[in-house]
Amino acid sequence: MGRMVVAEIWPFLSTMFDNSSPAAWPHIKGEPNGPLVVYFLWDGKEYDEFWIKLMKEALSNIHAVAMSEKCTTDSAPVYWNTTLGDTPVQDIYRNNFTSLRVTRAKYDPKDIMGQTGGFRIPLPKAPETPQSSP
């Protein structure tokens, strides 16, 4: 059933963003950010629910340790390359989410990027126009 479990905290220096410019993925100068990585390997699709539940529990426990060791903060964005697929995209882009939706609407109004995989920034919903009666 289970074949391997790997768990890591990537404790980046709090100065890593001191010389960086603004980007889609939010980062705050002087704020620590340590992505949490948990890798589980198992056999059998029938065990997916069991192992994913354990993975989420492990991430929660590792997050508590990372917080106590000051490797991360509650306000740190989720690093998209090391998160589970059910993570809300808002947790990745935090305060930049709204402006990224506006940018996407401007440059991708036909939703071409919506055909890709991964964490998609949804297009803003078009305002509904009232239907006129005959």
C-alpha distances (whole Å) from 27 to each of 31, 72, 104 are: 8, 12, 20
Give the pTM.
0.68
- The pLDDT tens digits along the chain (134 residues) read 788 988 877 777 778 888 888 888 888 787 767 677 788 899 999 999 999 999 889 888 888 887 888 777 777 777 767 778 888 999 888 888 999 999 999 999 999 988 888 888 988 876 555 555 55
- Coil, helix or strand for 56? helix
* H-helix or E-strand spanning residue 16: none
